[in-house]
Amino acid sequence: MNSQKDHFPSDERTLVTSAQGGDRAALREIYDRHRDSVHRVIFYWLNEPLLVEDMLQTVFLKIYRALPRFRFEAALSTWIYRIALNECLNHNQRRRMDQVPLDAILGGGEELDSTESIDDQHARREVSRILQQAVMDLPPRLRAVVVLKYVEGLSYDEIARVLECAPGTVASRLSRALSRMEEQLRPLKNLL
Amino acid sequence: MRRNLMRYLDGEMEPESVISFENHLLDCGWCRATCARLREGQRLARQLPSPRPARDRWDELEAALEHDPSSPAPHQPAKSALRRHWAMATMSVIALLMAALLITSNRGSSEIQTANVTDEADLEKFQAVSILDLPRNTMPHVVTEGYVSELRLDPDGDMTFRLVEDINQPDPFIVCEIIKPISIPPPAIGSRVRVYGVSRYDGQPDRQWYEVHPVLNIEVVRR
């Protein structure tokens, strides 16, 4: 992995250095810049909004505790994503996820009646919920690449740096993840 | 092959490889079928919601930071204590400079040659503090000891040098400033010196330094 020491944006270096010194305004700036990204990552690990908010707080406390050890060897966003994902993975191991498997939503696999009329907003919510559930049904490693690629918009190289793997591994995991999602959501194809 | 398919679909394939890959797709039914399934999976993934937090919880986070000893703490004493520190330090500097002026004028010299504090009684008023402990110091007059690692003449004529605990390590360090009109011979780089002066904290957006500023006396411990 290439070191990014020499390519670290100077304003971000200044921000991090200030934050490492305990500058509250700098800590707030880091929170404002990365809060939404961390929230989105956590959203795809926890099903309950309150748990997501609590986890967001936990992750940022971990970020701030670890900040003095940050050595500008990776982009700040890469490092923050890594902390968020590690916390999510640790959370997975600590407790069994209370979530309804997608199969229960889809039933026996028969084709659903796509002509049934439902309210547009409700339909959108349902689509989002079904898609979210499909992602949360993925094993953690596959889930991580899907979220980082299609929710966060990272490139293969950026994802590889976050997950500390090769870009080819990212491609491989994505193909497996998308194949599973396609197969699992095939009965709902006309609705999604 | 699935990796290449994924790279192709996500636009991550090198441009020079795209044409040959597309030619392959024309000839390979398996790849075309797999590509179609992955493209459908991609279409679904691109619809994934991007929710935002319901509310800003910075205040709660900040409150948690206040009670978390392991998070970066501001390297500053409480504001009121800092103000008192500054007031005492400023008054002390003014008093010492006036004393130096008086001494010089009594000697008949128009220029202050030195503000060395050589009186043993005066030296006792300086609090001995290590470089590492200087951030926790609250006394205005300090004496600290270390190796001179860097020497610089500022554009305004003030002499600045860095003092480190270990000559082979850049940290921890403090900055020592010999400011006009105080005139003290600067120490040699690599020498171990004892520095007397006023303890100061210089908090800037790009640095947070602990300083002895101004330096009032330097004793060479080891050349």
CA distance A131 to A129: 5
- Which range of residues forms the domain containing residue A133? 99-192
Q: Are A58 and A94 in contact (CB under 8 A)?
A: no
Q: Average pLDDT for residues A74-101, to the nearest whole number?
A: 79
Of A51-65, A146-160, B130-144, where does the model show the most confidence?
A146-160
CA nearest to A128, candidates A40, A11, A57: A40
Cβ contact, residue pair B52, A39, below 8 Å = yes
Report residue A77's pLDDT band, with 50, 70 and 90 as the boundaries. very high
Within 8 A of A27 by CB-CB distance, chain B residues are: 62, 65, 72
| Residue A165 in tokens | 């793997």
Q: Are A67 and A16 in contact (CB under 8 A)?
A: yes
Cβ contact, residue pair B48, A132, below 8 Å = yes
Same domain? A176 vs A106: yes
Write the pLDDT tens digit of every residue in A106-139. Answer: 444 444 445 555 567 777 788 888 898 899 999 9
pLDDT at A4 over 50: no
Q: Give, for A75, the enclosing helix (H) or strand (E).
A: none
From A98, A122, A154, the end of a domain falls on: A98
From A73, A98, A123, the end of a domain falls on: A98
Is residue B2 less than 8 Å (CB to CB) from chain A?
A: yes
The shortest C-alpha distance from B63 to chain A (Å) reads: 11
Inter-chain Cβ pairs, chain A and chain B, closer than 8 A: 146
Write the pLDDT tens digit of every residue in B99-145. Answer: 666 665 555 444 433 445 445 446 667 888 888 888 878 777 889 99
Within 8 A of B208 by CB-CB distance, chain A residues are: 18, 21-23
For residue A161, what is the domain's CATH number?
1.10.10.10
Calculated CA dihedral for residues A150, A151, A155, A156, nearest 10 degrees:
-60
DSSP state of A149: I
Same domain? A92 vs A118: no
Is residue A28 less than 8 Å (CB to CB) from chain B?
A: yes
CA distance B158 to B152: 8
**Neighbouring residues of B217: CB distance < 8 A, sequence distance ≥ 6:** B115, B116, B117, B118, B123, B184, B195, B196, B197
Give the DSSP letter string of A15-60.
Answer: HHHHHHTT-HHHHHHHHHHHHHHHHHHHHTT-S-HHHHHHHHHHHH
Same domain? A9 vs A85: yes
Same domain? A170 vs A186: yes
Within 8 A of A50 by CB-CB distance, chain B residues are: none
The shortest C-alpha distance from A154 to chain B (Å) reads: 11
Cβ contact, residue pair B53, A27, below 8 Å = no
Within 8 A of B73 by CB-CB distance, chain A residues are: 22
Same domain? A122 vs A81: no
Same domain? A65 vs A103: no
Q: At what angle do helices A120-136 and B29-45 cross, to 10 degrees?
A: 120
CA distance B175 to B155: 16
| Residue A143 in tokens | 């889930």
Same domain? A15 vs A1: yes
Give the per-residue pLDDT at A166: 95
CA distance B154 to B99: 26
Q: What is the pTM of this model?
A: 0.58
Cβ contact, residue pair A22, B72, below 8 Å = yes
Is residue A56 less than 8 Å (CB to CB) from chain B?
A: yes
CATH 2.40.50.140 occupies which residues in chain B?
79-222
Same domain? A59 vs A139: no
For residue A60, what is the domain's CATH number?
1.10.1740.10
CA nearest to B39, candidates A169, A189, A58, A76: A189
| Residue A182 in tokens | 């396609």
Same domain? A80 vs A22: yes
Is residue B35 less than 8 Å (CB to CB) from chain A?
A: no
Write the pLDDT tens digit of every residue in B164-183. Answer: 888 887 888 899 988 766 77
Cβ contact, residue pair B207, A146, below 8 Å = no
CA distance A145 to A172: 10
Give the per-residue pLDDT at B178: 86
**Which stretch of A10-19, A56-65, A149-158 has the lowest confidence by average pLDDT?**
A10-19
| Residue A151 in tokens | 């929710």
Is residue B29 less than 8 Å (CB to CB) from chain A?
A: no
Same domain? A112 vs A92: no
From A35, A64, A98, the end of a domain falls on: A98
Same domain? A69 vs A111: no
Q: What is the ipTM of this complex?
A: 0.80
CA distance B174 to B193: 13
Higher pLDDT, B71 or B28: B28
Give the count of domains, chain A. 2
Q: What is the CATH number of domain B79-222?
A: 2.40.50.140
Q: Which of A174, A180, A183 to mutate to test the interface with B (most CBs of B within 10 A)?
A: A174
The SS3 of residue A151 is helix
Q: Scanning every residue of chain A, which has its alpha carbon at the shortest distance from the alpha carbon of B59?
A: A28
Give the DSSP letter string of B183-214.
Answer: --PPPPTT-EEEEEEEEEEEEETTEEEEEEEE
Same domain? A146 vs A83: no
